[in-house]
Structure 1
């Protein structure tokens, strides 16, 4: 199966980009700043929104992506909400497309530009490729395992913070955290760290890969939020660690919170801070 993945990535990367761009052009951007009230619903609560753009874009990608790679399956945010058992495909033996049709739905609903479409391709829990598209900002980032990461065709390099510099860290938004998670993240309020609540997870990962943000600190595991960005950061030279010092696993069972950072030393520094509050 790995040979099938490698063969596909040798010639099919542009086809996935075209599918993602088409989903955004037909289902997402026509609704940007044009959403009617009946096109917006709540899932788990007032902070967990879903729109017709989310549903329709995911439906399009769920149809098209397995056609590009026969035998593959899709794990999409909205499909998992409807049937949580579909998440188990991440642990199966088939190639898996991990899809977040609109990452940053709250920003999308507000008419802001801080949202993106995320797609990643994995096999046996290993990420092999990812696509991050911010259509309102006209930014498209791609990462291929072992071949690097690019943003609009230009190589991405995360670099490293300056020695002893204050770290900028985007962390899980308080609206999406339990009291226990809030307590762990409070450790970031310390000398040498400049924390702030995150927006779209996909765009925060892109900021790390670009060297504009030093690290993230997230307290949830949903693969559609993290898969694309984790590979983007890795291929830009960054690293990710969980609270036990192990890399994050998209199949779950991670010690949380976890971080993705511009380099391994920064990841360790952030984990050491988070461990104080865990």
Structure 2
């Protein structure tokens, strides 16, 4: 069992993430060959050689830092959905998204991130959000705050009072999702489309947006951001009135926002 994540482990994981990204991801940015990009479930669901190699490396190296821990990675679950069941066990779990925002990465845009979260008993203990092309490393520890490049982060409202909400990418929206997002906009919310969940959560943690309204619960997309935002002062809420759960089984949609009242407001405005 993991009682707490100390500074030594926090720094060791950061070193591993930075090294793996430097060796497997950034050298392939804007240098992908056609055979490096594969469609998993259509033209908007992509995986690249960078995703696969980075996840393989992280799967090898992270458990070595914490004996007895296991890994739940996006690509491993894609190959074997039973891997997701590890989140229901007692072992510490590294939840890994090797390249969050793969479509951005493929287009040569800098809006991609590598996300790692240490979870046990369904609860996030520590997280690392690395946006290499922008020089951003955000870390959080349960009960110890959220930091960006070593500086404490705090959620914040817009100076003019506008409700700023990040929500799903239009290419993935169902008709029902379009209706719910339309209600937010009709109520005066300023919405923006998410193409990299990790970056949107980082923006929320440092006061750039007020909340997210999301319609999917894949743990590698949300685990790091959930801890980052809550440690910066935020809160999560599903349409069932419960906090968001990393292992799944959430009533959707859900919001993670700068505070509990804002999360509640986003859910109520959608009328889901």
Name the Cα RMSD after superposition. 1.2
Q: Does residue 1:208 correspond to 2:204, yes or no? A: yes
> Is the contact made by 1:165 and 1:192 (CA closer than 8 Å) also made in structure 2?
no
C-alpha separation in 2, matches of 1:9 and 1:48: 36
> Is the contact made by 1:184 and 1:257 (CA closer than 8 Å) also made in structure 2?
no
1:146-161 equivalences under 5 Å are 146-161=143-158
C-alpha separation in 2, matches of 1:266 and 1:200: 22
Q: Gaps spanning 5+ residues in structure 2: where?
A: none
Displacement over 4 Å in runs of 4+: none
> Is the contact made by 2:163 and 2:210 (CA closer than 8 Å) also made in structure 1?
yes
Q: Does residue 1:232 correspond to 2:206, yes or no? A: no
Q: Gaps spanning 5+ residues in structure 1: where?
A: none
C-alpha separation in 2, matches of 1:182 and 1:78: 28
> Is the contact made by 1:245 and 1:271 (CA closer than 8 Å) also made in structure 2?
no
Q: Deviations over 1:45-97 (max 9, x none)?
A: 11000000000000000000000000000000000000011001111110000
C-alpha separation in 2, matches of 1:51 and 1:261: 31
- One of 21, 44, 48 as aligned partner of 1:47: 44
- Residue of structure 2 in register with 1:96 after alignment: 93
Match of 1:2, SS?
A: coil
Match of 1:169, SS?
A: strand
- One of 75, 80, 89 as aligned partner of 2:77: 80
- Residue of structure 1 in register with 2:240 after alignment: 244
> Is the contact made by 2:73 and 2:95 (CA closer than 8 Å) also made in structure 1?
yes
Q: Deviations over 1:144-170 (max 9, x none)?
A: 0000010000001113345x8221111
Q: Does residue 1:126 correspond to 2:101, yes or no? A: no
- One of 218, 231, 251 as aligned partner of 2:214: 218
How many angstroms does 1:10 deviate by?
4.4
- Residue of structure 2 in register with 1:2 after alignment: 2
> Is the contact made by 2:25 and 2:50 (CA closer than 8 Å) also made in structure 1?
yes
**TM-score (normalizing by structure 2):** 0.97
Match of 2:146, SS?
A: strand
How many angstroms does 1:175 deviate by?
1.5
Q: Deviations over 1:223-275 (max 9, x none)?
A: 0000000100000011111112211001111111111111112111111112x
Q: Does residue 1:30 correspond to 2:21, yes or no? A: no
Match of 1:216, SS?
A: strand
- One of 140, 143, 146 as aligned partner of 1:143: 140
> Is the contact made by 1:209 and 1:236 (CA closer than 8 Å) also made in structure 2?
yes
Q: Does residue 1:113 correspond to 2:139, yes or no? A: no
**TM-score (normalizing by structure 1):** 0.95
How many angstroms does 1:9 deviate by?
2.8
